[in-house]
């Protein structure tokens, strides 16, 4: 069998030698060029003879290569043929375009998009409008604030931040779903201590977001923040968990006992109340506040679960909205959300923000101002740093609350806006919200 397979190759090799030996010496010289004088001495007949022989030689060489390849590929030893990728009885190599690897990487490594696909349908946009103020042209109530939330029950129960829905009296809550439908919202329960609230809309069979666990959250873990910053619906930002145990005392937040999740995922004002989700598409936090680029905080979902359990336990006895006890019936209201500048936060701000005023050693950072509020009317803006009020040095948010409790009619507030100092005047209001 092996001899039979080798026989065509031996025959072709002998044939090739015979053809080469038959070629005359003069014609082989002519093959290299036209000779010393630029042309051959022979006649046209001689040239035609050589052309014919050259064509025969070329055809023989081509046939020899083809049959030699056939004999080579039919050898019992297949390792060389497999290495070169040539087929057993073909004369062309196989060609394949490796496009599946690129498509596979896109499907395999787009873990952020996978988490968003699961969780985004349950995220809602919440708009707060003041019924006592109307637009001059449309005669519609003026929007004073907005935020986000997410659906936790199919019959229209939404979880969000308390500061999103409780801004000032006489407000109207409107909820917009991801499919564009809009519903009036009713604020059912509010807990200012945990900064959590629930809103109900009249709609069934809604997509919901699974509640995960924040107890086993690790620093460095990927998270995704969803919401409607600056009223831009369905915005997605991603980052990692910077810390899982940022105590409210470190942030100077009054009356709270929460270890916040710190993340570098961008959380802006409209993101407040939206979910912070893990790569399984589960809510592990509620977006709460942003200090500066790369420093944002979220309420752990385990605190939200305790808040929801408290709602079920006190159903029918809480008497409506407020779950916290001991809250005053009336309070002074200026319409800002603030953050105490502790030494750790000051250090991070100085490292990340080159425009941070170098002379500031403490104070309060304003990170949200309610539209139409006394602070908004007085000229306060998000990002302002309050250092003094009525000549008194401000070291924490508690100092601001003390001045409000003193029933001051007018607040002369010294601020830093960028690196420039300025003074604004705010007239607080009484509110039951």
Whether 199 and 158 have beta carbons less than 8 Å apart is answered as yes
Nearest-CA neighbor of 269 among 312, 313, 235, 221? Answer: 235
195 is catalytic: yes
∠ Cα 196 251 167 (to 5°): 40
Q: SS3 for 71?
A: helix
272 is catalytic: yes
Q: What DSSP letter does each residue of 226-257 carry, written as one string? A: EE-GGG-SSEEEEEEEEEEEEEHHHHT-TT--
User: What CA–CA distance (Å, rounded) separates 21 from 13?
Assistant: 13
Of 119, 194, 242, 272, the catalytic one is 272
User: What CA–CA distance (Å, rounded) separates 357 from 418?
Assistant: 7
Q: Is the dihedral of CA 7, 13, 18, 19 positive or negative?
A: positive
Of 130, 195, 302, 399, the catalytic one is 195
41 is catalytic: no
Structure token digits, residue 99: 């496009």
User: What CA–CA distance (Å, rounded) separates 96 from 107?
Assistant: 21
User: What CA–CA distance (Å, rounded) separates 178 from 195?
Assistant: 24
Number of residues written out for the chain: 433
Residue with tokens 């425009």: 355
Interacting residues of 382 by C-beta distance below 8 A, sequence separation 6+: 269, 366, 367, 368, 369
Of 119, 163, 384, 399, the catalytic one is 163
Structure token digits, residue 345: 């936060």
Instruction: State phi, psi for 386 to the nearest 5 degrees.
Output: -85, 125
∠ Cα 237 211 370 (to 5°): 55
Active site residues: 163, 195, 272
């Amino acid at each position: 069998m092996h001899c039979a397979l080798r026989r065509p190759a031996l025959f072709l090799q002998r044939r090739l030698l015979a053809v080469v030996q038959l070629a005359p010496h003069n014609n082989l010289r002519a093959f290299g060029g036209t000779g010393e004088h630029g042309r051959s001495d022979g006649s046209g007949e001689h040239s035609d003879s050589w052309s014919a022989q050259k064509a025969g030689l070329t055809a023989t060489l081509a046939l020899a290569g083809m049959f030699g390849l056939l004999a080579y590929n039919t050898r019992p030893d297949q390792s060389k043929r497999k290495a070169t990728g040539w087929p057993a009885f073909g004369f062309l190599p196989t060609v394949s375009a490796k496009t599946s690897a690129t498509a596979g990487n896109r499907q395999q490594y787009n873990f952020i998009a996978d988490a968003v696909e699961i969780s985004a349908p349950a995220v809602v946009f919440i708009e707060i409008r003041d019924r006592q103020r109307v637009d001059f042209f449309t005669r519609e109530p003026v929007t004073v604030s907005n935020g986000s939330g997410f659906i936790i029950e199919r019959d229209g129960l939404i979880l969000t931040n308390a500061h999103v829905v409780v801004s000032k009296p006489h407000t109207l809550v409107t909820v917009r779903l991801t499919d564009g439908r809009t519903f009036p919202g009713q604020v059912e329960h509010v807990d200012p201590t945990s900064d959590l609230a629930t809103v109900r809309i009249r709609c069934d069979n809604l997509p919901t977001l699974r509640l995960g666990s924040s107890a086993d959250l690790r620093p460095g873990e990927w998270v995704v923040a969803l919401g409607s910053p600056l009223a831009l619906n369905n915005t997605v930002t991603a980052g990692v968990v910077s810390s899982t145990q940022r105590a409210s005392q470190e942030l100077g937040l009054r009356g709270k006992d929460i270890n916040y999740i710190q993340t570098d995922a961008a959380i802006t004002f409209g993101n407040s109340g939206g979910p912070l989700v893990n790569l399984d598409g589960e809510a592990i936090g509620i977006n709460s506040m942003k200090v500066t680029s790369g420093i944002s905080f979220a309420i752990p979902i385990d605190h939200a679960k305790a808040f929801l359990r408290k709602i079920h336990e006190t159903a029918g006895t809480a008497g409506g909205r407020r779950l916290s006890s001991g809250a005053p019936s009336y309070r002074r209201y200026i319409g800002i959300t603030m953050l105490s500048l502790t030494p750790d936060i000051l250090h991070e701000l100085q490292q990340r923000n080159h425009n941070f005023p170098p002379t500031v050693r403490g104070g309060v950072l304003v990170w949200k101002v309610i539209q139409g509020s006394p602070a908004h009317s007085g000229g306060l803006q998000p990002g302002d740093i309050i250092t003094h009020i009525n000549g008194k040095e401000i070291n924490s948010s508690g100092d601001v609350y003390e001045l409000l409790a003193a029933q001051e009619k007018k607040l002369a507030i010294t601020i830093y806006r960028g690196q420039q100092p300025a003074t604004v005047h705010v007239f607080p209001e009484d509110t039951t919200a």
